[in-house]
């Protein structure tokens, strides 16, 4: 997933260096954000995290990025992060990770991306999501040219094809 995410960022923006990537949602359990944060330490990036306090990025990932010299910022709202964001990487809040329905209900819609949310965003910002989504990105955002998550999913096919070809010695 991290390879196709970096590929998508490069395809959408033209580079991975010098950008700010904001990760939103369940950062505690999301393997996609863990691997993306690690691979992004190979580049000159800034990371921002927007999540409920109970779902923050694990300390070992934060320390890994810090040890690689990556600037990191924890934000409490999408609005706080939006103006500096080049890539908005949204993940779903994983209901199955909660011990009670009430815990899940308290955070499930706390960071929903809508057309209104994007008003203060950069015009060239890219919105990514590893899919499937539940309701963390409203369907109205699909028509926004910054919404790259379907292109991201398509890129996954090409990255996997390339990896298989490499493994089979075809390149």
3-state SS record for 46-83 = EEEEECCHHHCCCHHHHHHHHHCCCEEEEECCHHHHHC
- pLDDT tops 90 at residue 169: yes
Q: What is the pLDDT of residue 170?
A: 87
Q: What is the pLDDT of residue 110?
A: 85
Q: What is the pLDDT of residue 145?
A: 97
Q: What is the pLDDT of residue 54?
A: 87
Q: How far apart are CA 25 and CA 54, in angstroms?
A: 11
Q: How far apart are CA 103 and CA 108, in angstroms?
A: 9
Q: What is the pLDDT of residue 95?
A: 79
Q: How far apart are CA 105 and CA 110, in angstroms?
A: 9
Name the pTM for this structure.
0.94
Q: What is the pLDDT of residue 57?
A: 97
Q: What is the pLDDT of residues 40-92, one digit of tens each?
A: 999 999 999 999 988 999 999 999 999 999 999 999 999 999 999 999 999 99
143 DSSP 8-state letter: G
Q: How far apart are CA 67 and CA 70, in angstroms?
A: 7
Q: How far apart are CA 3 and CA 47, in angstroms?
A: 17
Q: What is the pLDDT of residues 84-131, one digit of tens each?
A: 999 999 999 887 887 778 888 878 888 999 999 999 999 999 999 999
């Amino acid at each position: 997933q991290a390879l196709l995410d970096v590929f998508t960022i490069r395809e959408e923006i033209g580079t991975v260096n010098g950008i700010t990537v904001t990760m939103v949602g369940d950062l505690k359990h999301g393997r996609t954000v863990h691997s993306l944060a690690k691979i992004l330490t190979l580049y000159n990036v800034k990371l921002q995290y927007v999540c409920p306090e109970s779902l923050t990025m694990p300390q070992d990932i934060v320390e890994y990025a810090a040890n690689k010299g990556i600037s990191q910022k924890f934000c409490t709202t999408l609005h706080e992060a939006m103006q500096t964001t080049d890539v908005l990487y949204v993940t779903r809040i994983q209901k199955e990770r909660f011990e009670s329905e009430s815990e899940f209900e308290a955070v499930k819609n706390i960071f929903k991306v809508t057309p209104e949310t994007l008003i203060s965003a950069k015009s060239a910002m890219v919105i990514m999501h590893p899919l499937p989504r539940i309701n963390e990105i409203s369907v109205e955002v699909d028509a926004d040219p910054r919404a790259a998550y379907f292109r991201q999913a398509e890129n996954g096919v090409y990255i996997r094809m390339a990896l298989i070809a490499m493994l089979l010695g075809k390149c």
